[in-house]
């Protein structure tokens, strides 16, 4: 198969951020398929351009390992208006086939809805090329906006809703990262038999097993985006409680970037929360060595109905693969940490419960924490290894090609 995989925010492992599509493309290429990842030149997680640009260039092709990336040049952004402009520029370039003239025509196009305009443009490109379109649903836009408090009648919600329904109705197959999203997708035009769950995963070869050495200071690490939905203020509250009760015994290391990071930094400085350290994001190739320095990890979520459809964050599976216990501060429908007894789950936005979970883990022996970490790693190996997920994606694409061919053959001949 010749596949074009279009995701506005796809990045190679040399960059900070999620590398799902690089990993899936690598697996497809290992199986003999030809895959090109089409992405924007701007890395959202790092806030910087990925590809070098010479004057007048609209795109460039760069190979990372076995995976070719076609980067479409887009403007950088910081605020919401600039970000919207960035989205539209990328979508227009995909729509107009910028940079694809020298690529071999695909047999199938995948469009990721990390941004809906990009997925819509990918669907129109597939239609123009006369090939099947597979939609990947990363987040449930615009439902996510509604669950975060936006009015259902807000122009952005209404506009995204129109695009959402169009995509569901005009996709040969739909991939969702959320295990309980099928009912919602069907209610908005999707066909249940064409919806497949392929969650996020981990390239296990990047994370060799490593025992946690004993530390004088028990280190809890968060590695991921610092956004509003990540609910990191309760983590700072828990750090404050622990620092007051046991000064110098606990440390919280927060790695990454995001729109809430500056405010979180200011709060730590103003309140003199001495046991919290912020660190810059690092590439996927570097992050796992950093993660070996943790005694435990934490993922924190807002108290919202947003997670009733399930979760599939990159960082959660990476935490588990690193072989350390994980604290899940959230209420979710699917919880791999609880399923594998690989950590502790507490209610969302509850600093006292987070602090108690940290103390519980710190009171365990190294062997007890090691057993937790092993259970989490085994669970990820069995359910979230990209070698397994790549095989599942290959099956979806082959099914989409077969369905499309069958539909063409059933059309009445003129």
What is the per-residue burial (b if ≥16 Cβ within 10 Å, else e) of 318-347? bbbbbbbbbbbbbbbebbbbeebebbbbbe
How many structural domains are present in the chain?
2
- Say yes or no to pLDDT of 52 above 80: no
Stretch 346-367: mean pLDDT, rounded?
A: 96
412-to-97, 330, 403, 406, 407 alpha-carbon distances in Å: 31, 53, 16, 12, 10
Query: Model confidence at 70, in pLDDT bands (50, 70, 90)?
Result: very high
- Say yes or no to pLDDT of 408 above 70: no
Find, among 272, 238, 242, 267, the residue nearest to 346 by Cα: 238
Query: Model confidence at 411, in pLDDT bands (50, 70, 90)?
Result: low
Judgement on whether residues 186 and 263 belong to the same structural domain of the protein: no
Query: Model confidence at 297, in pLDDT bands (50, 70, 90)?
Result: very high
Find, among 275, 287, 271, 365, the residue nearest to 19 by Cα: 287
Judgement on whether residues 324 and 396 belong to the same structural domain of the protein: no
Judgement on whether residues 361 and 397 belong to the same structural domain of the protein: no
Residue 260 CB: number of other CB atoms within 10 A?
18
Judgement on whether residues 376 and 389 belong to the same structural domain of the protein: no
Stretch 305-316: mean pLDDT, rounded?
A: 79
Whole domain around residue 61: which residue ranges? 2-201+385-410
- Say yes or no to pLDDT of 119 above 90: yes
Query: Model confidence at 303, in pLDDT bands (50, 70, 90)?
Result: confident
Judgement on whether residues 405 and 369 belong to the same structural domain of the protein: no
Judgement on whether residues 188 and 99 belong to the same structural domain of the protein: yes
Judgement on whether residues 170 and 226 belong to the same structural domain of the protein: no
Query: Model confidence at 311, in pLDDT bands (50, 70, 90)?
Result: confident
- Say yes or no to pLDDT of 318 above 80: yes
Condensed to tens digits (0 to 9), the pLDDT of residues 241-281 reads: 999 999 999 999 999 888 889 999 999 999 999 999 999 98
- Say yes or no to pLDDT of 167 above 60: yes
- Say yes or no to pLDDT of 69 above 90: yes
DSSP H helical ranges for 272-326: 284-291, 314-321
DSSP E strands in 144-238: the ranges are 173-176, 195-197, 218-223
C-alpha to C-alpha distance for 168 and 140, rounded to whole angstroms: 12
Residues in CB range of 7: below 8 A, 6 or more apart = 21, 37, 38, 39, 111, 112, 114, 118, 136
Judgement on whether residues 304 and 163 belong to the same structural domain of the protein: no
Instruction: Specify the pLDDT at position 79.
Output: 76
Residue 97 CB: number of other CB atoms within 10 A?
12
Stretch 165-176: mean pLDDT, rounded?
A: 95
Residues in CB range of 275: below 8 A, 6 or more apart = 239, 242, 243, 248, 250, 251, 252
Judgement on whether residues 115 and 251 belong to the same structural domain of the protein: no
Return left, alpha or beta for 398; rule: phi > 0 is left, psi -120 to 50 is alpha, else beta: alpha
Query: Model confidence at 57, in pLDDT bands (50, 70, 90)?
Result: confident
Judgement on whether residues 348 and 395 belong to the same structural domain of the protein: no
158-to-84, 335, 347 alpha-carbon distances in Å: 16, 31, 32
Half-sphere exposure of 113 (CA within 13 A, CB side): 29
CATH number at residue 360: 3.40.50.2000
Instruction: Specify the pLDDT at position 56.
Output: 66
- Cis previous bond, 142, omega within 30: yes
Judgement on whether residues 69 and 105 belong to the same structural domain of the protein: yes
Longest dimension (CA), the chain: 81
Judgement on whether residues 331 and 389 belong to the same structural domain of the protein: no
Stretch 296-320: mean pLDDT, rounded?
A: 85
Query: Model confidence at 287, in pLDDT bands (50, 70, 90)?
Result: confident
Residue 60 CB: number of other CB atoms within 10 A?
17
The pTM (predicted TM-score) of the whole model is 0.88
What are the phi and psi torsion angles at 127 (to 5°)?
-60, -45
Mean residue pLDDT across the chain = 89
């Amino acid at each position: 198969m010749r596949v074009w995989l279009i995701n506005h925010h796809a990045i190679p492992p040399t960059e900070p951020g999620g590398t799902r599509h690089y990993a899936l493309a690598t697996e497809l290429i290992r199986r003999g398929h030809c895959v090109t990842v089409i992405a924007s030149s701007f890395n959202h997680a790092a806030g910087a351009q990925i590809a070098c640009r010479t004057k007048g260039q609209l795109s460039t092709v760069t190979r990372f390992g076995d995976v070719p990336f076609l980067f479409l040049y887009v403007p950088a952004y910081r605020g919401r208006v600039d970000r919207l402009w960035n989205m539209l520029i990328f979508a227009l370039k995909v729509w107009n086939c910028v940079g694809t003239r020298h690529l071999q025509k695909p047999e199938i196009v995948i469009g990721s809805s990390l941004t809906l305009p990009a997925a819509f443009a990918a669907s129109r490109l597939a239609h123009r090329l006369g090939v099947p379109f597979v939609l990947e649903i990363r987040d449930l836009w615009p439902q996510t906006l509604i669950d975060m408090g936006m009015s259902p009648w807000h122009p952005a919600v209404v506009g995204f809703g129109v695009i959402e329904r169009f995509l569901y109705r005009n996709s040969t197959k739909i991939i969702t990262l959320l295990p309980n999203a099928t009912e919602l997708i069907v209610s908005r035009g999707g066909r249940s038999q064409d919806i497949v769950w392929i969650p996020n995963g981990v390239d296990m070869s990047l994370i060799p097993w490593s025992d946690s050495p004993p530390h004088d200071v028990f280190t809890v690490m968060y590695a991921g985006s610092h956004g509003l939905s990540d609910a990191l203020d309760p983590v700072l509250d828990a750090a404050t409680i622990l620092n007051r009760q046991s000064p110098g015994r606990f440390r919280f290391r927060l790695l990454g970037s995001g729109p809430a990071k500056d405010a979180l930094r200011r709060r730590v400085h103003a309140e003199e929360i001495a046991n919290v350290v912020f660190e810059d994001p690092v590439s996927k190739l570097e992050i796992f060595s950093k993660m070996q320095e943790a005694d435990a990890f934490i993922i924190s979520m807002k108290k919202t109905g947003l997670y009733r459809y399930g979760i599939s964050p990159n960082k959660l599976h990476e935490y588990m693969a690193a072989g350390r216990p994980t604290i899940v501060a959230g209420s979710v429908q699917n919880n791999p940490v609880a399923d594998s007894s690989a950590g502790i789950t507490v209610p969302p936005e509850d600093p006292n419960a987070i602090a108690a979970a940290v103390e519980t883990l710190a009171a365990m022996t190294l062997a007890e924490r090691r057993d937790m970490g092993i259970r989490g790693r085994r669970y990820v190996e069995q359910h979230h290894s990209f070698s397994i997920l790549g095989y599942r994606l290959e099956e979806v694409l082959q099914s989409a090609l077969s369905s499309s061919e069958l539909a063409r053959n059933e059309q009445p001949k003129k």
